[in-house]
Structure 1
């Protein structure tokens, strides 16, 4: 009797070749595809919802269904003209890394299970720590994304500065901080008075004077400030908070400085990015998402901590947790790095392989050039908009992001805001490029984030011409 879940070698070969061809076709033909496609829930049910059958279905039929009905009906966040949100401009080598990780099913929760794989993860972490200017004492962990990295950073900060949960403790972050921070704080039990949102200046950077005043007021009211969250490239505008001034303030006040660089921290590999991120090296912890400006496929985030020992202190498995099944792990490898002691997960995959494989394949200079593309195309978009005379720049090109809205001479703000929504819809229906809006100071603005390594100014110009034409339709 054959094993119930085993394919023959020939069947595995055929399935693998078909899947590989699909992925290669996606990469080679992506420019000819629309940037976004979506269907209604009813239509999606009609296309893919079926009862679970008792018998087998030929894999070729299932791949046909995926190729016809699933992959085409999605945002293509790796499309060179996907300028919305924060794209995930992947590369083929990293996709192969994900395949190898899944195919070998490496458990990377502790050293005993994956010593060489763990060392690759530590090597990539070391590259990122050095790039961010952190000391030899630093350490880190790869997680699912910025949301989990931010949550984990607060856990380390809380254990380090407070020794555990304290209902009087306060975390400070700006009104431009990613929503994952507020969500993570709620999950960790911080109630609303403990989550202090600080105003930003005209450039959407955290107002240091306002932060200092909030800290003083909270101390006077018996609260216990312990952590400041700074932004290294906000999702809205690419703004970088004044990191040197915030580091000085945190040093004076004895506060943990966490830098949410999920979007922007990887730009430190480029001289322009490094200049914008001055002070990053003074952070106690940093969030960095390789599936953004390190051009990796979803999903991979990273938390870096100045003192790696504090991660183990925060996430250690204590004796009363009764993790008896880890006795052999603890007995053999007490001095080695166990990633379950640096984060929430025990079961975790070999997350760093795709980053390691692509960085080694292409080299650091290629990644630096890829970051340059994002800067250049965003700068070009700003110049085009300013030269047109028809658009108002809301925030300039910074860290590969800019925002703008229709001038609309003689139009009210309300009319311009309504036109902004219609322009977004027309652009999405057109399919050539994806441009979405955000809200800045209570008003919508169009937003571009052209950080794909294969983006170019010709396609950006064609996108802006379309936006202008759609706005002129009224």
Structure 2
């Protein structure tokens, strides 16, 4: 019989002496200082800067290290080659996409979670109870029952996917889908034409096919037309299709529009359909006393998808899915594997586990940073931050309307402003090109980072005010820079 290998000094990856622990502690403290100093000076630097070609080439040519290196050298590489060239969403001038800005508190909590290295797929340990607490808090905030089911995921793309799976299994005969697949079933769901693309992808990944998501017309404010929804459901039933799901959007990605959730909920209930709300960023507007009334109907949802890492400012990633009926949620995903057997006591107790509620067995401790964020800042202060973002967006809208060269292209529903440079000497196509080039100019300048989208067939500049650091001065600087870029490209005319 072969003897087991003899343990040798240094087999552990931890520091092996008091001196090594001291050296590690020194470097770790310096890393934390690097990040705190960077956060404190964000406003003084550019929003974004492109990664230099030589650094990009170095990353692409780098080989897997075979020998040990120093933590100090790695820290220096991160500080010089990564930190200055990140997305820029922490900066107050970042307005391009709905990315939260993060907080120092969330950063510190993420460090603690990494140190703990907990797997929240299951088992009986404190981190699981923290996530259960966070899910209960989330359900309460969204108006769902306190005992609603849910879990934290990578983001709303995964949250929407889980909701589509649960909804399909909740349809008549839907449990057979887990074993027999769709076979000849012709399940269809509905969402407004402004729905995020991840919902269509969820239908694709669920095996339903992206064409099974029926897109409903929207009104002039980009909100789902409830009467059109009723007509589509009626026509589809007559054609032999099986409606099972309606998706309402709370904060559309292009304009921030909120669908008439209460009206959609009424249709879903009357038709016996699952009512899901994609509230990726807009659902957290329930934190605001002034905006919450516009989300009436959210509390009637069978499931909700949203992100703590957007308007709630937790660090990436921290998406959330909530399901009103815990039994339907578990029935859609739970499985029995011998090595995952649940016990009445010991470390394998504490069922149901989170791996019974989604596709992931291995799950990080996302709940810690959410717990920290809600505990330190509180819902009142976070709600005031949401109000402030919307006020900054309205200020941007006022600046746009005051400039003859600029045109507001969509109503400002929440915190997203869509506008356009209209050069008189250019036709629509030329103005499309001009606006696209201006946005790239702005991003490369480091002054501001909006994005583009298409509204009523025209390319527009889109500014999403999601960062808690963004102030009036930042949108004033954006407008000045847009006009300067437009003037430069038109030769100062």
- Give 2:402's aligned residue: 387
CA distance in 1, matches of 2:233, 2:349: 40
- Give 2:14's aligned residue: 6
Equivalenced residue count is 468
- Give 1:311's aligned residue: 329
Query: Matches of residues 229-308 of structure 1 in structure 2 within 5 Å?
Result: 229-308=247-326
**Preserved contact between residue 342 and residue 351 of structure 2 (Cα < 8 Å):** no
Counterpart among 148, 159, 167 of residue 157 in structure 1: 167
Q: TM (normalized to structure 2)?
A: 0.91
The range that moved more, 60-69 or 188-197, is 188-197
Counterpart among 360, 366, 373 of residue 388 in structure 2: 373
- Give secondary structure in 1 for the equivalent of 2:43: helix
Q: TM (normalized to structure 1)?
A: 0.95
Query: Matches of residues 170-181 of structure 1 in structure 2 within 5 Å?
Result: 170-181=188-199
* CA displacement at 1:407 relative to structure 2: 2.9
Q: Could you say if the C-alpha distance between residues 160 and 467 of structure 1 is closer, same or farther in structure 2, counting changes exceeding 3 Å?
A: same
The range that moved more, 134-143 or 285-294, is 134-143
CA distance in 1, matches of 2:343, 2:153: 21
* CA displacement at 1:12 relative to structure 2: 2.2
Counterpart among 469, 482, 487 of residue 454 in structure 1: 469
Check if 1:94 corresponds to 2:106. yes
Cα deviation digits, residues 218-250 of structure 1 (max 9, x gap): 111111000011100011100011111101110
The range that moved more, 219-228 or 204-213, is 204-213
CA distance in 1, matches of 2:400, 2:105: 35
**Preserved contact between residue 410 and residue 455 of structure 2 (Cα < 8 Å):** no
Query: Matches of residues 455-470 of structure 1 in structure 2 within 5 Å?
Result: 455-470=470-485
**Preserved contact between residue 82 and residue 435 of structure 1 (Cα < 8 Å):** yes
Q: Could you say if the C-alpha distance between residues 192 and 96 of structure 1 is closer, same or farther in structure 2, counting changes exceeding 3 Å?
A: closer
**Preserved contact between residue 47 and residue 69 of structure 1 (Cα < 8 Å):** no
Check if 1:32 corresponds to 2:50. no
Unaligned runs of 5+ residues in structure 1 are: none
Unaligned runs of 5+ residues in structure 2 are: 1-8
**Preserved contact between residue 51 and residue 85 of structure 2 (Cα < 8 Å):** yes
* CA displacement at 1:40 relative to structure 2: 6.7
- Give 2:133's aligned residue: 123
Q: Could you say if the C-alpha distance between residues 342 and 15 of structure 1 is closer, same or farther in structure 2, counting changes exceeding 3 Å?
A: same
Query: Matches of residues 66-215 of structure 1 in structure 2 within 5 Å?
Result: 66-112=78-124, 114=125, 116-161=126-171, 162-163=174-175, 164=177, 165-166=181-182, 167-215=185-233
* CA displacement at 1:334 relative to structure 2: 7.0
CA distance in 1, matches of 2:400, 2:210: 41
Q: Could you say if the C-alpha distance between residues 326 and 398 of structure 1 is closer, same or farther in structure 2, counting changes exceeding 3 Å?
A: same
CA distance in 2, matches of 1:434, 1:458: 14
* CA displacement at 1:144 relative to structure 2: 0.6
- Give 2:6's aligned residue: none
Query: Matches of residues 373-452 of structure 1 in structure 2 within 5 Å?
Result: 373-452=388-467
Larger gyration radius, structure 1 or structure 2: 2
- Give secondary structure in 2 for the equivalent of 1:66: helix
CA distance in 1, matches of 2:45, 2:60: 21
**Preserved contact between residue 149 and residue 301 of structure 1 (Cα < 8 Å):** yes
Q: Could you say if the C-alpha distance between residues 154 and 60 of structure 1 is closer, same or farther in structure 2, counting changes exceeding 3 Å?
A: same
CA distance in 2, matches of 1:32, 1:469: 21
Query: Matches of residues 303-342 of structure 1 in structure 2 within 5 Å?
Result: 303-318=321-336, 323-329=337-343, 336-342=351-357
* CA displacement at 1:110 relative to structure 2: 1.6
